[in-house]
């Protein structure tokens, strides 16, 4: 099996980047069951996404299917993981070690997806000096430790009213990408990557849809 070259520097459309992990998750399950080849039609049927959409999304990654048999499963897993950055190591720090910050430091799942949390920072002095073996520091040491640890991703898990000020501080001290778990809409220079994961916004969507359902049932 030859591993194809992967060009991860293409700027992919966000919807494609959201769908590729679905394909990966499904194809990995097929891989664990010993399946060797899979077609976009099979993936489509299993996960309820249009086959032509899947073929289009997969055309961004450097892999081509064989007529009638489809994509080689092992290659597809490798290419998707490389393409999504899941088998690289991206060093990140957690900023704000409350419940959510601590939970993320405990989540070993993140490492499987290429995110290595190398430190946690908080404005409060903490009783313990590590969580799950990952060192904790006071924010005063942020500048020095970030450089030493060579981390360029900041995971923002502070109270919402501190979000912008803490983001500014991280950016001033060399952070290039912020994974924002607060519901605050951050402002940042253009060359900074901001990724919002406001789980509370997702709750709002779910509650609204549930209410619609109840109304329909009346």
Among 59, 64, 147, 211, binds its own copies (CB under 8 A): 211
Min dist CB 67 to its own copies, Å, is: 26
Whether the Cβ atoms of residue 70 and residue 37 lie closer than 8 Å to each other: yes
Among 3, 8, 34, 35, binds its own copies (CB under 8 A): 8
Q: Which stretch binds its own copies (CB under 8 A): 25-33, 120-128, 134-142, 143-151?
A: 25-33
Q: Which stretch binds its own copies (CB under 8 A): 63-71, 121-129, 137-145, 193-201?
A: 193-201
Q: Which stretch binds its own copies (CB under 8 A): 24-32, 119-127, 138-146, 165-173?
A: 24-32
Nearer to its own copies, 69 or 111 (CB): 111
Q: In the structure encoding, which two tokens stand for residue 53, read together?
A: 């959409």
Min dist CB 35 to its own copies, Å, is: 13
* Residue 128, phi then psi, degrees to nearest 5: -90, 160
The footprint of its own copies on residues 50-69 (CB under 8 A) is none
Residue 182 touches its own copies, criterion: CB under 8 A: yes
The footprint of its own copies on residues 101-140 (CB under 8 A) is 102-104, 106-110, 113-115
Min dist CB 132 to its own copies, Å, is: 10
Q: Which stretch binds its own copies (CB under 8 A): 62-70, 122-130, 135-143, 203-211?
A: 203-211
The footprint of its own copies on residues 151-180 (CB under 8 A) is 152-153, 160-161, 176-177, 179
Residues in the chain: 218
């Amino acid at each position: 099996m030859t591993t194809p070259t992967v060009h991860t520097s293409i700027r992919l459309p966000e919807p494609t980047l959201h769908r590729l992990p679905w394909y990966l998750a499904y194809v990995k399950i097929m891989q664990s069951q010993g399946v060797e080849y899979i077609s976009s039609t099979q993936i489509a049927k299993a996960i309820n996404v249009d086959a032509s959409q899947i073929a289009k999304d997969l055309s961004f990654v450097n892999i081509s299917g064989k007529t009638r048999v489809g994509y080689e499963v092992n290659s597809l897993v490798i290419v998707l993981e490389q393409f999504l950055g899941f088998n690289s190591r991206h060093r990140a720090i957690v900023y704000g070690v409350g419940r959510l910050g601590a939970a993320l430091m405990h989540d070993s799942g993140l490492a499987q997806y290429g995110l290595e949390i190398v430190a946690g920072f908080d404005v409060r002095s903490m009783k313990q000096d590590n969580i799950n073996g990952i060192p904790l520091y006071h924010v005063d040491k942020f500048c020095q430790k970030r450089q030493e640890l060579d981390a360029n991703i900041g995971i923002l898990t502070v109270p919402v009213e501190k979000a912008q000020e803490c983001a500014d501080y991280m950016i001033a001290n060399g952070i290039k990408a912020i994974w924002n778990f607060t519901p605050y809409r951050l402002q940042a220079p253009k060359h900074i990557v901001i990724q919002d994961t406001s789980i509370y916004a997702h709750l709002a969507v779910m509650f609204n849809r549930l209410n619609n359902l109840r109304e329909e049932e009346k």
